[in-house]
Structure 1
Amino acid sequence: MKAAFIQNGAVEVGTLDDPIPGKGHALVRTHRCGLCASEAHFLHAGQNVIDLSQKFGGPYSALDPLVPFVPGHEYVGEVVDYGPGSKRTVKPGRRVTSLPIMRQSGSHSVIGFNNACPGGFGEYMLLDEDMLSEIPDGLDDNLAAMTEPLAVGLEHARRGLPTKEDCALVIGCGAIGLGVIAGLKLAGIAPIVATDYHADRRALALAMGADLALDPREISPYEPLADLGGRQVSLVYECVGLPGLLQQMIQSVAFGARIVVGGYCMEPEELFVFAAQNKRLTVQFAGGEEPQDMDLALRSIADGKIDVAPWIGATIGLSGVADALANMSSEGAPVRTIVDPRLL
């Protein structure tokens, strides 16, 4: 199969062996796949992620960066066949997405970050048939590919146990932060405050349902906000993942606030527990999405309750993956560039 793969810290485009499905595996022909910052992170610091997984436990510990691996975990594809002895949960010819997890044959692998589980930057994938979600007829492939990143934001949103009394703050308006805003809006939470350095991301935050979008260099989102009648935020979602940010939030939030940490920080974080104790803070660490979040994300996109179309930029072929990964953090870059692995 044709694929864009990572090997030894570089993106290459070439031909790899087609994956062969075993029991419980669905062989899927990829239609679309979103580019995520995690793929760019593996280009620059992949060995660090692997080392941390080996030290602290994690699904990336078995990845060999010297051997080609095909990234891509925000995908839509068409079921082609199944391995022998499979339940065949979705008919061949139907489109699917899934949690990017493989648990068949006793394994626990993240699709796209395992040498044996190629992701959506290749023409074919192996998906766990127990994780498949069938795409409704008529739903555009590009929109359907946003199911997984939206689901992560929805998971983070519910982890905070938001109530109608909360004033919520979302820090960072990439795909995950925007998904948190959408999840809060869907749950009827208001007001929602968003912060981001980039004006285009603040505009997207408002489009997703935020009531106020601030540049934190100009105004502190933790102080009583005049535009909200002097209210202060009580529930904060961190969707950036930079060292020092958690301690900054602890120092800045009001007494009794709750903090949900969703950003993946791969560096040590120094905390003054004393400061958090004095304010009686609650800190919740959020992880990846679960089946209920994938189901809600797909239904909300399909029925139009959450509009992810503004997230989507260009659709590229495999030859454009390297440049897109290199430029995805630049100002004005779309929230998601879409890869069609059938195109070179």
Structure 2
Amino acid sequence: MRVERQRLMRAVVMQDGRLRVEEIAEPVPGSGEVLVEVLACGICGSDKSCLVHGDGFNRAALGAFGTPMLDLSKPIVFGHEFVAEIVSYGPDTERKLPPGTRVVSMPILMREQPVLLGFGGTDTPGAYAQRMVLSEALLIPVPDQMSTDVAALTEPLAVALRSLNRAETAVGDVPLVLGCGPIGLAVIVLLKARGVGPIVAADLSPERRAFALKLGADVAVDPTVDSPYQAWMQAAATDDPALMSPPTAVAGRLPLRPTVGFECTGAPGLLQQMISGAPPGSRIAVAGINFGSDTVEPAQAIVKELDLRFCLYYSPEEFARTLELLASGDIDPTPLITGRVGLDDVADAFERLDTSPTDAKILIDASL
């Protein structure tokens, strides 16, 4: 009897707070699943956080859902921002897309116990690997005219789109984006695409502020020199009652257009700073993750009637809509991409992203 030899592949494995390249078993697609070759994968800030603060992710998940997010006792293969190419189909699949088709997908395996790809073990690896398995039902083909690099930005831009939608951002609003890392920059790209502005951005780094202006911000503030909140209110000022934000109970009607803030840093104290600085009636979307405890003054938020809306992931519709926006060519997110590395250089890329303000999104190409 002939026994099939298990195929191996290269992957970046995280364990005990370290990244290393190993050969692991190539995953086998189950019912309704597809084997794909990874073409490109972005390094996400949450990957960096998991490397250092995996226990923080688990505390948050345990508090919210009663179960940890990560099994830190076993190796983990990151990678949830990806574009891939269909290799073969598993059982019980419809096979509507031919092998060789480029696809994106929400990073979830639709099993009886769903799997968050990029946060699981070597049996369900994320895209820091040569190959992975995806659920056929979630595959979206990448249009021929779209570059592979741009397609790889679908997931992080979907996170940004979720933040815009959670804050009900619309034309006529004036936004402030605190933090011009990858998510803050992605928020700026989509605000510009939606016609929202003027956009005020704030970051300590001059390189990050330059990124923000390049991607669509109208004003970029150094918070050590000027107040982002004063710049925000100046940008929102209007003497046209038709454009003014609705009145709040205590402050009444102010000569300001509707204001929406995006906290994209997760830095301790920033949420309370935004509560203190935001005009009454503002909506605040919280997209940055703080794994520690923090202090806010609810009375300030109550007196101002602020809306705080915490944001995570996206819906299937938002993910698909993001790919449509990218395919339309109406937005150009390519300045976000500042590097490309092979699997052997992923650990070095993590260090770069921690220390280099000129890097935003580094893509992994397992073929390098």
TM-score under structure 2 length normalisation: 0.87
Whether 1:23 and 2:48 are equivalent positions in the alignment is no
Partner of residue 95 from structure 2, selected from 88, 93, 106: 88
Q: Could you say if the C-alpha distance between residues 268 and 225 of structure 1 is closer, same or farther in structure 2, counting changes exceeding 3 Å?
A: closer
Q: Could you say if the C-alpha distance between residues 224 and 239 of structure 1 is closer, same or farther in structure 2, counting changes exceeding 3 Å?
A: closer
Q: Name the % identity.
A: 38
User: Deviation per CA, 1:160-217, whole angstroms, max 9, x where unpaired?
Assistant: 1123332111111122112212222222212111111112221221222211111111
Is the 8 Å Cα contact of residues 40 and 326 (structure 1) preserved in structure 2? no
Q: Could you say if the C-alpha distance between residues 300 and 273 of structure 1 is closer, same or farther in structure 2, counting changes exceeding 3 Å?
A: same
Is the 8 Å Cα contact of residues 229 and 277 (structure 2) preserved in structure 1? yes
User: Deviation per CA, 1:280-309, whole angstroms, max 9, x where unpaired?
Assistant: 111111111222222232222223211111
TM alignment of 1:151-166, pairs within 5 A: 151-166=158-173
Please state whether the residue corresponding to 2:38 is helix, strand or coil.
Answer: strand
What is the letter of the counterpart of residue 41 of structure 1?
S
Partner of residue 266 from structure 1, selected from 284, 287, 291: 291
Query: RMSD value over aligned CA atoms?
Result: 1.9
Partner of 1:139: 146
User: Deviation per CA, 1:304-339, whole angstroms, max 9, x where unpaired?
Assistant: 211111111221111100111122122334211111
Q: Could you say if the C-alpha distance between residues 226 and 45 of structure 1 is closer, same or farther in structure 2, counting changes exceeding 3 Å?
A: closer
Partner of 2:331: 306
Q: Could you say if the C-alpha distance between residues 226 and 69 of structure 1 is closer, same or farther in structure 2, counting changes exceeding 3 Å?
A: closer
Whether 1:195 and 2:196 are equivalent positions in the alignment is no
Shift of 1:84: 0.8
Whether 1:211 and 2:218 are equivalent positions in the alignment is yes
- Rg: which structure is higher? 2
Shift of 1:273: 1.2
Partner of residue 6 from structure 1, selected from 6, 11, 14: 14
Distance in 2 (alpha carbons) for counterparts of 1:78 and 1:318: 18
Shift of 1:31: 0.9
Is the 8 Å Cα contact of residues 260 and 283 (structure 1) preserved in structure 2? yes
Q: Which runs of 5+ in 1 are unaligned?
A: none
Partner of 1:72: 79
Whether 1:323 and 2:348 are equivalent positions in the alignment is yes
Partner of 2:125: 118
Q: Could you say if the C-alpha distance between residues 185 and 246 of structure 1 is closer, same or farther in structure 2, counting changes exceeding 3 Å?
A: same
TM alignment of 1:284-299, pairs within 5 A: 284-299=309-324
Distance in 2 (alpha carbons) for counterparts of 1:185 and 1:293: 17
What is the letter of the counterpart of residue 354 of structure 2?
S
Partner of 2:107: 100
Shift of 1:230: 4.7
Is the 8 Å Cα contact of residues 174 and 232 (structure 2) preserved in structure 1? no
Distance in 1 (alpha carbons) for counterparts of 2:84 and 2:280: 47
What is the letter of the counterpart of residue 33 of structure 1?
C
Partner of 1:179: 186
Partner of 1:48: 56
Deviates more, 1:82-91 or 1:218-227: 218-227
TM alignment of 1:246-257, pairs within 5 A: 246-257=271-282
Partner of residue 155 from structure 2, selected from 134, 144, 148: 148
Partner of 1:277: 302
Q: Which runs of 5+ in 2 are unaligned?
A: 1-8, 239-255
Whether 1:169 and 2:176 are equivalent positions in the alignment is yes
What is the letter of the counterpart of residue 270 of structure 1?
T
Partner of 2:247: none
Count how many residue pairs are aligned between Structure 1 and Structure 2: 341
Partner of 2:44: 36
What is the letter of the counterpart of residue 5 of structure 1?
V
Shift of 1:107: 2.1
Shift of 1:225: 5.7
What is the letter of the counterpart of residue 198 of structure 2?
P
Is the 8 Å Cα contact of residues 208 and 358 (structure 2) preserved in structure 1? no
Is the 8 Å Cα contact of residues 158 and 183 (structure 1) preserved in structure 2? no
